[in-house]
Amino acid sequence: MWLNLPHQKAENFVFTMPDFQEGGNLDVSQLNPSLLEADSNDPYTNFNWKNLPNWINSDGILFNTIEGLDKLGLTYFHRKLGIPVWAIGPIPWTVSNKQRVDNEAGEETEKFIKFLDEKEEKSVLYISFGSQNRISASQMMELAKALDKANRVNFIWVVRPPLGFDINMEFRAEEWFPVEILAHKSVGAFLTHCGWN
C-alpha cells in the first residue's frame, strides 16, 4: 500500500488494493494516519518508499500479529515477496513501555479507575477503535444514537481527533486512557475495530 497509495484514488473513501483483491474493500477511515498523510514531501513516506522494496532481500519477515486474525494478510505478503512470513504475536509490552504508560496516564487514570470502581461488575462497555483506525463521523453519530437509546449503558469511549486537528490545542495530550482498562472487573464488553494491536 505504501508503494502506490491506492487510497488516494478512492471513490467515496472506499478502495481495493489491485494486487490483493481477496482483501475486499477497504475504507480510508481504517488507515493509519501516517498513510493518509503520505506524499512525496513527507520524510516518513520517503523512508518507506526507499526501504520497503528491500524486504524482498530478507530471509523472512516477522509480524506482530496472530495467524488466526491475519492469515489472509500473511498469505498476501508471502505471495507478494516470495519469502517466509511468521506471525509471532502478540508481543507483550516491555517493562519500560509499561512504566511510560503509567507515568503518562497519571491522575487521569485515577479518575477513570474511580469511575469504574463505582460501577457493577461487567457493567461497562469500553469502546476504542485503536490507535490506527478511525470511524467516519456518520458511523460515530449512529453509535452515539444507539448508546443513547440503550439507556443506562455505562461506557468509556476513546475517540481520536479528526485528521488535521491539533489535540494539544484542545486537550492535554497526556489525558488518554491506557489499555489496562480491560483488566478492570467492571468492564464487561469491548467494542473495537476487530484488530488487536
pLDDT over 60 at 96, yes or no: no
Q: Give the span between the Cα atoms of 86 and 78, in whole angstroms.
A: 9
pLDDT tens digit sequence for 145-157: 998 888 878 998 8
Q: What is the pLDDT of residue 164?
A: 52
Contact predicate 132/33, CB 8 Å: yes
Going from the C-alpha of 128 to that of each of 8, 167, 185, the distances in angstroms are 26, 17, 18
pLDDT tens digit sequence for 124-145: 998 887 665 667 778 888 888 9
* CATH number attached to the domain at 105-191: 3.40.50.2000
Domain with CATH 3.40.50.2000 in the chain: 105-191
Give me the chain's average pLDDT, please.
77
pLDDT tens digit sequence for 7-39: 888 878 888 888 888 888 888 887 777 788 888
